[in-house]
Structure 1
């Protein structure tokens, strides 16, 4: 490691201060220069000093606001990483979901359609998950579709200012090239993402991530509470999820809690009402003039949905969401909604 001078340590402290003043958001070189009382034109001098400290004490990627202190840099300041989530890789399905969504957006453009919401489900879920990961980790989050495309899809995922899993090093090209063409990586990921399997895999992957974080934090209570919330709240609003995520035992998993819910399709809305299964509480959909929850067990326990079925108003201004993971092709609700809780 490079020997640290007093000026180096002062710079590390300044980066930490600016980041805290920014509410945890990674600083820019101009912000560091201004905080040091220097003109913004001094960015080059600061960058040369940072280059000498990279990658031992600081690191960054090609993205804006990607400058961050490494664990060694934090240790110099007598700190540890503020949150284990900073080191835990983002969900493996974010990049494939964006690739699938981008492919379908491209098909709409080629067909002469105007791009307007609602967008493809894969795109919306991938973009929402990306945004939540950014907010959780103090990285500038995309504010709209254009920023997801221009600031993320045009940059190789391997260069994102977010930690990727083992597959991340293979994502060495962007999803969209400079000529607005889908890259081979984008097409390959989109082709491999089978929508039905993806929903189940996504839910299982998210739950595995919560379990890993809980184990790392020695927070079994948090994992049990997270699982219980999903079972007891198969349908919830964004406000419900925000309130739950503010609870002490769920706050470490607040972002993932939002990711576990999906938009309710129109097939589950009947005359402005949601029909809910009398056993698991999930949404009922009508297919071939028959109600369907997705689980043969629920059909049996409710006598073909004739007992216990409830309704809930569907407010388009504050639309409820449902726990994700049920695919029509899978034929059963997510495992976490039907399996018993572990003994506490």
Structure 2
């Protein structure tokens, strides 16, 4: 596809095939690259929603934790953008950039953030395919990518994954738009940085242990009516609390520990939409399409009726090679009844 819709594009674009091009599609030498727009094919999107009442600083800290927990690659690049009531989290494989630039530092971001914001539901034409999006309050709330234009089933799957939509979704995929370039680079002003440092969290854990020890000693002394020991424990706890209150890093670490506990259950659930999308992509590579399917956090089930001659072992291997599926089991349902695949969903890495 032509890239002319990025009228005054500032970045260089990294395509899925590893080539570097400018806005007109002309090759660019790695030495000339200053800012890199990554093909949507390389990137994953997560919408982080904070609970009501969370402050801006709490949302920022929690979004960083969510970005760490959702990281799908050994060396994950991240871009976290503020949004009303939460954050937009972009993740990508940094090894794709290192293969071209080595150890040289290059500013990189998904191509999607260089395009002008939308509102409501839309499909955009991107470097190496198509991106379905849902926008609210000028912030991207949901996004998924396909090499080919979305089918009705794929569009319905995307729509069903957005549980907080206000605008009604079209019944069929909208005509793909060619987004205008956002020359103001508004995304740079929305960044949440720097990343969370785990050294502070470790210090907070030690702090909590010391405080717990002091409080436990105090109540044990009271229970045993050992007044002198209880008083000593009280003084010890007071000394610890006083020392910690003067240390801003310890206070920050305690706040981070609270957020870790608060969001653990929310961020460790399997990516249901991602699992279904991965399965559809695998079947499409083998020239197959699902006739019936279902997915939830318990697992994925897909039935293919016209599966005669399908390379079952290769399909199973490809499904298990995805980041979201494991324990894939093929079931032959009988002549004329097709082939069924059942799979467990892989939980995000802690």
TM-score range, shorter chain: under 0.3
Instruction: Specify which structure has the higher proportion of strand.
Output: 2
TM-score normalised by L of structure 2: 0.28
**More helix per residue: 1 or 2?**
1
**Greater radius of gyration (CA):** 2
TM-score of the superposed pair, with normalisation by structure 1: 0.28
